[in-house]
Every structure is written in structure tokens, then in C-alpha cells.
Structure 1
Amino acid sequence: MNWSQLLSRQRLGSKDQPTSTTSRTDFQRDFDRIVFSSAFRRMQDKTQIFPLSKIDYVRTRLTHSLESSSVGRSLGTLVGEQIIARHKLKGYEASDFGDICAAACLAHDIGNPPFGHSGEDAIRHWAETADYGRQRVAVLNGSQREDFLNFEGNAQGFRVITRLQNRDNPGGLQLTCATLAAFTKYPRESCIGKGRFDGVSAKKPGFTAEDQENFETVAKAVGLIRRDPVLSIWHRHPLSYLVEAADDICYRVIDIEDGFRLGHLSYQQALDLYSDILADSSIQTSRLKRIGGNKEKVEFLRAKVISKAISEILSCFLDHEPAILKGEFDDPLMSSIPHRQEMDRLIQVAGEKIYIAPEVIEIETAGFQVISELLERFIPIIDDVAEHGTNATPRSQMMIRLIPEQFIGDDAIPVQDDYTRLLRLTDFVSGMTDSYAVSLYKKVTGISLPG
């Protein structure tokens, strides 16, 4: 792969030429388009760790994405300075690298369903075991079937930004191919054969069967290396390693801070975890002593740990850059930094103390039921209207009005293709906020009435 092509300003679905202005570049426009999208705004009411939290301090998917974007911009810009000098690139600024990473990080969770990763599990479980779900998915084959059995928020995110947002436009938000490729941490279809391909980039699906053509356009534009002549799987865009690292840094480091603020970790526990990463500095014995409250001390250490991680990720990326360009490196950068064990310890403690907190488990369990029940109740309704039209049952004709037309078909007539019909239903449910999913669940099950 070569950087001149990897930084392609070509926009998916658009015939417009890249802008020549430097006052607001194509990559900055990508960032702005994501910020102003409705899917981005909905992340303010989507779970990061603590679902439906009443405490305004706790991070949501929105604040996590903003923080990841900030770290991604720093990483990208620092890398860009070195890459431009190393390869003598012309026509690009270090900020272009930073803007691509910032935009990709901003959207990295935009496809996640309600209730975090338990929402993904709920959709997979529904497709595999629920009465209607199992029947509908069983008639599909290959990647169409695996899109549901192995439902993935990353693949759904690619749908959101390339199809569901600005749906009348080919290419959706029509982002640059560089940003879309950096966004796609897993450049593969959902059915590739278990264990056939190694490396982190093959771990999960990155796009659905319906979106395969769109990703092939992106991969060709930026010059990704194809890993198989038949299956749709490529080596990653180099900047996607930085997008992944920014996410890894933020959720590992910041989840500890959230856990401390909510009382799941003591101040000493948080201090020890952060200090282990900063053990080679004198921060703890100087500035830390001048900070009054424990909350402020934890915030200070959190910032220093993030800075330390950025520095180590930068060095790691530059060391492995030649191998990345050849498709010979396929590991998370976090697994190769000097303090990888200490960073892994953060997520280990979070798993033991925070992710299994009663308020997390209780609401995620309820969320699992909410998502499964919505899918199971709506699919027979859609099928009934698709098959019988105006002769569908009164209940079906009434309930289908609860689904926006864009998730049904033109003129509110369900599409006939089984795969597309299921895909639009999961588009509808996965796009819900936590609160809306609960509210709709209560209404369709009769638990509560409007007003």
C-alpha cells in the first residue's frame, strides 16, 4: 500500500472533485458531516458502560466517541508528521492524518445498538434461538445469514454512514474513502470460514452482504491489499490501527475513572492502577501532592496515562509501519507497547469490579429482553403485510405504523426479499436509543400506555 493512495479524497457515491481549499479540507468536512448526523446525536442516549444512568457525569457512547476522537486526532497528527517526512509526501499536511483519524473515531460506535455489547448479543441470540428469528434467518445462506447470526456493531456502523444517513444519496454521508477505510477496523464480510484467516483485522465482520459493493469501492480507491481472490477480505488501512488504539486507550483508562466516581473502585485502587503505568516518572511525588481532592487527582493521572499511551502507540506504529504497508502486521498496537501488561490490567480490573456491577447487569439483562422482544414482535407483522398487503390482519396493519417508512419499503410496502426485510428491521431496532427502545417495548407489550 502507498500513502498517496491511502489518503484518497474520493467520496463514496459522489462525482464531485476533491476540494482545493485548505481552509476547510475534505477530511474536516467528513468530521462535520458525522457531527451533524442524527445517528451521532442519538449516541447521547446509548450505553457506554452504565445503561440509563441518572448521573450526568457518566460517559455515554457520545462522550466516549468525542474523547476517542480527540485521542485519535493527536495520534494521527503525530504520525502524519513522521510519515510525511519519511516518505516525502507532497500535497498533504500532518493535520490531514489527524482529521481522518478524528472523523473515523467519532463514528466508530455509531452503529452500536441500544444497551452496548449486550444489544449485539441480543440480536445474535434472537437470530439463532427465537421462534420467528430462527425461522427467518434459517432460509438465508452465506454472509446474508451470518450478518444476523454474527451481528456486529462495526458492520452496522458502516451501513449507517454509507447508506442509512442521507439515505437518498448514493453513499449516504458521502465521506472520503480514506475516512471510510480508516473507520473499518475489520475489512471483511461476515462469512469467511471459521479460523481460516488470522490477525485482528479478521476477527469480526466489517460490512454486511448488502454493503459489500460499497466497501469494495472504498478498498479499491485507497488501494487495500486483498487477502483472498474470492472472499471479500482485505488487510487494514494503516490508520485504522490508530483508530483502534484511540478507542482502546479511552475505554481502558477512562472506565477506571468512571468506576472510581461511581464507587466501584477506591481512590487507592485507581491511584495504584494509573501509577503503575507512570512508574518511571516523578509525577506522583510532585504535582500530585499539590492537587487537593481525590477526584481531581484521578483526573490528572488519567490525563497523564493517556498522554503516556499516545507516546508509546506512536513509537509502536512507526516501528511497524513498513510491515503494515505490506500487510505483514496484523495485531492491535496496544499489544506491542512497553506498558501493555499494565494497560491490560486496567481492563482486567474493570471486568472484575465495574462491568459486573449490579446496576450494569440488571439493566443490560432487561435490555436483552427488550431488543429480543421488539424483533420477535415486529418481524411477523412485517411478513404479514408483505405477504397479504391490505388483507393483512388489523393488528399487523396497525403495528406496522410504528416503524418509520425508511425501514419498511417504498410507500410503506415491505420489500419482498427476506434478507432485505430482516436487515431493515435490525436497522430500525439497532438505531434506537436506550430510552426509546424501553419506551416502545412497554407500549407494544402493553406494560404502559401513551400519556
Structure 2
Amino acid sequence: MNWEQLLSLKRYGDTNKRLRKEQDETRLGFEVDYDRIIFSSEFRSLQDKTQVIPLSQTDFVHTRLTHSLEVSVVGRSLGRQVGLRVLEKHPHLQEVHGYQANDFGAIVASAALAHDIGNPPFGHSGEKAIGQYFSKGKGIAFKNQLTLKEYQDLCDFEGNANGFKIATQSREGRAGGLRLSYATLGAFTKYPKESLPKKPTTHIADKKYGFFQSDKEAFLDVAKDLGLKPTRTGNDASFARHPLAFLVEAADDICYTIIDFEDGINLGLIPEEFALEYLSKIIRSTIKPENYYALSTREDRVGYLRALAIGSLINEAVDIFMKYEAAILDGSFSTALLDKSQYEAQINDIIKLSVENIYQSKEVVEKEISGYEVITKLLDTYISAVNNCYENHASNYDKLILKTLPKSIKVNDDKLYNRVLSVCHFISLLSDSNAILSYKRLMGMTL
């Protein structure tokens, strides 16, 4: 893979090549991506979607929206620093093509901003609830009516693939979805493969999948333009990651490791003294004890440590990326950047503590249980109504349900997969509160 192709400014529907040196510096294409994401309705709904604590009423706990903004900020710093060093190593990118360090930052910031845009209500438990409906619930009845890959898409419903759908799916009046640059779409796709074969190798890019069968052609077009390296032959679409996807992943890893830890402390789920204990090795070269002990509130003290830790991990991730740049470009680099970190043990200790004290806390578990019930009810009701209507034996109840669904639901599509996936996609776009409100309406609890 080569940087000239990987930094493609192409968008869906383009007939002429966009050249970096001809870009308007006041309205740069990669920065337009950021604008289009942040003004999208799908991004706005993240303000009411779970990050750590589902449906938390506290002021300082992160939602998917605040998490995404923070990941984007970290991603921009990672991208800019990598951009400076890539341009030093490959000066023709700047001298001949006109690329700047900030281009790398803008691509990573945009992809990072969108990295959770496809997540359904109730966080990862929402993904699992949708998948379980098809693998163990009533949706198992569709198994023999779908191809193996179509059925696997549903059984392992994936927020990353759903995000790619949001970014690229045409709808009435909006051809090409958000029409992001292909460079940003490539950086966004952490798992550039389809749902089968499942985890064929231990390579980080094979951990999950990145696009549904319905969006396979769109992804293949992106992969071809970017020159992504195929990693499998035959009918199984699989590619090496876009190099900047490693930076998007690193930004997310840094934020959820450090900031979720911070949330746990501010919520009282983790003792404050653990902050200094667990972060001390990461920040030992930058901390100024006199500044730390001068802070009078827990939030300020923990915030100070968090800022230093993030800065330290950003610098290290950039060093790791550049050390392995050649392997990343040829697709042989097989782990997350932070898996090569000198602080891997400390990072793993923090994640373990967060899992035990936050992710498995009673409040989280109880609300995830509620999320399963809500999503299962919505899936069962909406899918039944859509399929009954298609088969011309809809009940009066089914007809009423259909009146509450948007036109994007493919009621008349002859392909079962498209009908069912459109329902899953619709539910995935609901905020936590709207999903609960829809559930209450179906249960007659709002009368």
C-alpha cells in the first residue's frame, strides 16, 4: 500500500480525480468530512447513548457523544504527529502532491469522530441483544432463508459495520450517505472484512467485521480506490487495514482506558488513591507533584493525572506507528499499537479494575438487562409487522405498527435479508431514551 492512494480525496459519485494541491485550504476536503459527521442526525443521537454507565443521570459521566468528541481530539493529535513524521520520511507527498501534516490529523479526527456512530442503544449489550435475537431467539427461524454470510451479519450484529452503512448508504435525497472522503472511510474501517470467515486469524483486523453484505460493493469500491491489500482469495472479501485505522483504534483505546477509569473514580466506584497508583508509571516523567497536591478537588486531581496519561500514551503510540510503518503499509503488522506499549501491563491493570468495578457494577448489569428486554421486544414487533405486510397477511396491529416506522424500512423489498436488516438498522439509530419510549408504547405504558 502507498500513501498517495491511501490519502484519497475521492467521494461517492466523483467522476474526476480530486488532487490535494488543488484543494481550497479554507475548506479542505478532509475537514469537510468532520463537518458532515458532526451535523448528521446519527451523530447527534449519540448524546443519549450509553458509554459506560447506561442511562446515567449524573453530570460528569460520558455518553457516546462526549466519548466520540474526546476520541476525535486524541485522534487529531495522533494524526498530526504521525503526519509530520511521515512527510519527513516521504517528502514527495508534500513537495509533489501537496499533502500537509494536518491532513493526517483531519482524516483521523473525522474517522474517530464517527467510530461509534453505528452503535445501537445500550452500548455493546445492544449489539449482543440484536445478535442473540437471531442466534438464540425468534430470529433463528430465518437461518435457512438467508445465505451464511447474511445470517452471520445478523447473529454478530456489528456497530462498526452499521457505522459504515450510515456513512455510505444512499437514501432518498442523499446519494452516497454522508459522502465522506475514501481516506476517512478507510481509516474508519478497523475490520476491513465481511462477517465470514469469523476470526480466521489472530490478526487484529480479523477480530470483527466491518461491513454488511448489503454494503459489500460500496466497501470494495473504497478498498480498490485506496489500494488496500487483499488478504484472502476467492469470494471472501478481506483486506489489510488502512494505516490510519491503527491511529483511530489507538485514540479509542487511550480514551476508554483512561477516561472510563476517571469516570469510575468520580462515580465513587473506584477509590481515588488508585488513580495515582495505577497511572504513576505512565506519567512519571511528566508529573509535577507540587501541581498535583495543589489541586483541592477530586475531579481536578484525577483530571490532571488523566491529561498527563493521555499525553504520554499519544507520544508513545506515534513512536510505535513510525517504528512499524513499513509493516503497517504491507499489512503484516498484526496487533493494536498499544499492544506494543511499554505500559501494556499498566493499561491491562486499569482495564481489569474498570471491568470489575464499573462494567460489571450492579447499576450497569441491571440496565443492560433492561436493554435486552427493550431491544428484543422492538425487534420482534417490527420484524413481524414488516414481514407480515410483505406476505399480505398483516393484522390490524401490524398495520398500526407500520405507521410508526420510517420510510427507510424496506417493507416491500423482495429480499428477506434487506427487510430484516433495515429494521435492525432503524432500531440501532434510536437513542437509549427513544428505545425505552418505543418499548413503553408497545407495552401500552404511555396511555
Q: Tell me which interval the TM-score lies in, with the shorter structure as reference length.
A: over 0.9
Between the two proteins, the alignment pairs up a number of residues equal to 439
Q: Residues 14 and 174 of structure 1 are in contact (CA less than 8 Å); yes or no, is this contact kept in structure 2?
A: no
Give the letter aligned to residue 142 of structure 2.
R
Which sits farther off after the overlay, 298-307 or 358-367? 358-367
1:82-138 per-residue CA deviation (whole Å, 9 max, x = no partner) reads: 00110111210000000000000000000000000000000011011222x111244
Q: For structure 1, list consecutive stretches of 5 or more residues without a partner in the other structure.
A: none
The answer to whether the Cα contact below 8 Å between 2:190 and 2:249 also exists between their aligned partners in 1 is yes
List per-residue Cα deviations over 1:267-320 (Å, max 9, x = no partner).
101221122322344x25232122222221110010000000001101000000
Counterpart residue identity of residue 212, structure 1: K
* Alignment check: 8 A CA contact 1:58 1:258 kept: yes
> Which residue type is aligned with residue 158 of structure 1?
F
Residue 15 of structure 2: aligned partner? 15
What does residue range 62-141 of structure 1 map to in structure 2 within 5 Å?
62-88=65-91, 89-90=93-94, 91-131=98-138, 133-141=139-147
- Determine if the alignment matches structure 1 residue 274 to structure 2 residue 279: yes
SS of residue matched to 2:140: helix
Residue 373 of structure 1: CA displacement? 1.2
Return the match for 2:152 from 126, 143, 146: 146
Amino acid paired to 2:109: A
The whole-number CA distance in structure 1 between the counterparts of 2:172 and 2:86 is: 36
Q: Which residue of the other structure, out of 403, 406, 409, is the alignment partner of 2:405?
A: 403
Task: Map 1:38-437 onto structure 2 (within 5 A).
Answer: 38-88=41-91, 89-90=93-94, 91-131=98-138, 133-163=139-169, 168-192=173-197, 194-230=198-234, 231-281=236-286, 283-388=287-392, 392-408=394-410, 413-437=411-435
Aligned-pair distance for 1:344?
1.5
Partners of 2:70 and 2:218 in 1: CA distance: 28
Distance in 2 between residues matched to 1:82 and 1:280, nearest whole Å: 23
Equivalent residue letter for 2:274: Q
Q: Secondary structure at the match of 1:205?
A: coil
CA distance in 1, matches of 2:269, 2:50: 18
What is the CA distance between 1:195 and its match in structure 2? 4.6
Using the TM superposition, give the Cα deviation of residue 249 of structure 1 relative to its aligned residue in structure 2, in angstroms: 0.1
Secondary structure of the structure 2 residue equivalent to 1:406: coil
CA distance in 2, matches of 1:218, 1:212: 10
Q: CA 1:140 to 1:27, structure 2 compared with 1: closer, same or farther past 3 Å? A: same
Residues 127-154 of structure 1 deviation map (CA, whole Å, 9 limit, x = unaligned): 11222x1112442112111110111100
SS at match of 2:52: coil
Shift of 1:191: 1.1
Unpaired segments ≥5 residues, structure 2: none
1:196: how far off? Answer: 2.7
Moved over 4 A (4+): none
> How far apart, CA to CA, are the structure 1 residues paired with 2:289 and 2:379?
55
Cα offsets for 1:38-93 (capped at 9, x unmatched):
00000000000111111122100000000000000000000000001101112100
8 Å CA contact 2:275–2:305 kept in 1: the answer is no
Residues 167, 74 of structure 1: alpha-carbon distance in 2 compared, 3 angstrom cutoff: farther
Quick check: 350-359 or 135-144, which moved more?
Answer: 135-144
The residue type paired with residue 362 of structure 1 is E
Give, in whole Å, the separation in 2 of the partners of 1:158 and 1:419: 17
Contact 1:171 1:214 in 2 (8 A): no
What SS is found at the alignment partner of 1:286? helix
Sequence identity percentage: 42
Aligned to 1:3: 3
Change (3 A) 1:4 1:285: same
Matched-pair contact (CA < 8 Å) for 1:137–1:148: no
Residue identity matched to 1:289: Y
1:395 & 1:197 partners in 2: Cα distance? 47
Q: TM-score, normalised by structure 1?
A: 0.95
2:180 partner letter: L
AA partner of residue 265 (structure 1): I
Q: Return the alpha-carbon distance in structure 2 between the equivalents of residues 354 and 129 of structure 1.
A: 28
Relative to 1, partners in 2 of residues 1:134 and 1:403: Cα closer, same or farther, differing over 3 Å?
A: same
Cα drift, residue 197 of structure 1: 2.9
Q: Deviations over 1:367-414 (max 9, x none)?
A: 0110011101111111111111xx632111111111111123xxxx43
Quick one: distance in 1 between partners of 2:172 and 2:309?
41
- Distance in 2 (alpha carbons) for counterparts of 1:71 and 1:421: 38
Task: Report deviation, 1:168.
Answer: 3.4
How far, CA to CA, are the matches of 2:122 and 2:381 in structure 1? 19
Sort the Cα spacing of 1:160 and 1:95 in 2 relative to 1 into closer, same or farther, 3 A.
Answer: same
Q: Is the 8 A contact 1:13 1:169 kept in 2?
A: no
